[in-house]
Structure formats: C-alpha cells, structure tokens
C-alpha cells in the first residue's frame, strides 16, 4: 500500500528498520527545514520520534551496532564532518583512535562480527589518507597501507573553511585553498580560480581534491563556495 507521498522538495528516506522490525529509522525534512533522523511508523505513515537534528545543516549518515543492536552515531557536515554519539562505547572507540590519528578525519570501513577488530580509514585536506587495523582487545593500531604514498602532504595546500555574506544577506559557506607558504593575512593579489561545484544536488566538502591541489601548486588561490541551491544546508537554502 502507499505509505506516504511527497513532492520533490520533501525528503523522507528510510535508512534501516528499527531493531524490533516494526518501524524504520529515516532521514526526513517533513515539517522542518533541516533533515533530521527520525523513527517513522510504516503502518500509520507518521513520525514517531525525532532522534537527532542539527541547527545549521542536514544530517548525514546513521550507524548502528549489529552485534549489540543499538544506534551508535549520526554524522553531519558543517565545515568538516562531525558525529553525534548515541552510544558511549562507540564514543570511547573514536576517542581512542583520535589519540593516534587525531590530525586526520577518521572513518570505520569495516569491523569483525564480534566488533573488536576494525579497518580504519583516514584522510585530510592534504592527504588521501591511509588504512589501519585496530584490535580493540589488545589496543593495537597498525598501519596497513598509505592510499597514495607518492604524495608528500607537506607539499600540499591547506583547505581553509570560510563563510561570507551575499549581497542580500545570505550566509554562504565555502573553502579557500592558498598556495603553500601563504596565509589569510599574507595572501594579497594572488591570481584566483573560482571553482563552483557541479550537481545541482551537491555541495563541496573538506578533504583532498587533486584539481584544487594542482591549481594551488601552480600559484593560484582556489575558492569553492556552496552557493545557494547547494544541498546540505536545509530546504530553504536549497529552494533559493
């Protein structure tokens, strides 16, 4: 049967079933500007509970423990990716990984069924990152492989989160990449490339971008903006 009908401006996207198999966890902007994670009742076609939302941006991914049958975390992206933890055990795992890998973005690629061994992926704006093996029982973290070992991250340019006001007062978020050796204070009169993202259902994110790094290496400042209509900043921003 038809559970719910939406238009193209509305979102209700099931993520996975609740652990009692009765309802679904879903991403929704129904009745709100920013998408939130909710519990949705398939029988009534109504929202049961709001689990997590962020005031500035749409939510991203929702994660769970298959072994313990609990929600673990929700991700969202402001200038960089962030996590809201539902679960102390998962929060402590990431806090442990950040001791050794805190200079990079950290993601869990996979885990053992017992959830005590993990494949970890890192990356940053200046590095495509590495894969690691982490044994939670022995507290041992071991590098498996660098993604692009031929790239020296010290030669790469930093991607700086910025924001500015449009002529009609709208806040536009973006990223400015300057050639190595320049700072926001010393970067004067540089040639610049304005590099809008494609899409239209897209936004730029913080991370390694080979095109941007190439241009910065050639002496250009590179400005990427999440212009009005970019995704991730709510329905009102998208519709503008």
Confidence at residue 82, expressed as pLDDT on a 0 to 100 scale: 97
Kindly report the average pLDDT of the chain as a whole number. 96
The full length of the chain comes to 240
Token digits of residue 23? 């309802």
Confidence at residue 200, expressed as pLDDT on a 0 to 100 scale: 79
> Quick one: average pLDDT of 142-158?
96
Q: How big is the CA angle at 156 (ends 155 and 162), to the nearest 5 degrees?
A: 145
Confidence of residue 109 (pLDDT cuts 50, 70, 90): very high
Confidence of residue 201 (pLDDT cuts 50, 70, 90): confident
Confidence of residue 43 (pLDDT cuts 50, 70, 90): very high
> Quick one: average pLDDT of 202-223?
97
Residue corresponding to tokens 């990152």: 129
Distance between CA atoms of 50 and 72, rounded to whole angstroms? 16
**pLDDT tens, 54-78?**
999 999 999 999 999 999 999 999 9
Confidence at residue 56, expressed as pLDDT on a 0 to 100 scale: 97
Token digits of residue 30? 């129904």
pLDDT of residue 230 exceeding 90, the answer is yes
Positions of E strands within the chain: 12-17, 24-28, 36-41, 46-52, 59-65, 70-77, 81-85, 105-111, 117-123, 130-135, 140-146, 159-165, 171-177, 192-194, 221-226
């Amino acid at each position: 049967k038809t559970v719910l009908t939406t238009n193209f401006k509305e979102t209700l996207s099931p993520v996975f079933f609740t652990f009692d198999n009765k309802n679904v966890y879903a991403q929704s902007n129904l009745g709100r500007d920013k998408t939130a994670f909710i519990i949705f009742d398939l029988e009534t076609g109504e929202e049961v509970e709001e689990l997590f939302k962020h005031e500035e941006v749409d939510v991203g991914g929702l994660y769970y423990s298959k072994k313990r049958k609990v929600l673990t975390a929700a991700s969202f992206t402001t200038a960089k990716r962030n996590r809201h933890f539902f679960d102390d055990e998962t929060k402590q795992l990431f806090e442990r990984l950040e001791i050794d890998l805190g200079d990079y973005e950290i993601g869990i690629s996979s885990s053992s069924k017992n959830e005590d061994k993990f494949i970890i992926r890192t990356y940053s704006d200046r590095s495509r990152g590495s894969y690691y093996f982490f044994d939670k029982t022995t507290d041992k973290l071991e590098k498996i492989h660098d993604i692009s070992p031929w790239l020296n991250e010290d030669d790469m340019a930093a991607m700086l989160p910025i924001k500015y006001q449009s002529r009609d007062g709208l806040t536009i978020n973006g990223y400015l990449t300057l050639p190595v050796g320049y700072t926001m204070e010393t970067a004067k009169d540089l040639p610049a490339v304005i590099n809008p993202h494609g899409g239209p259902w897209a936004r730029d994110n913080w991370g390694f971008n080979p095109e941007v790094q190439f241009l910065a290496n050639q002496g250009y400042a590179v400005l990427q903006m999440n212009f009005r209509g970019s995704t991730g900043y709510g329905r009102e921003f998208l519709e503008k």
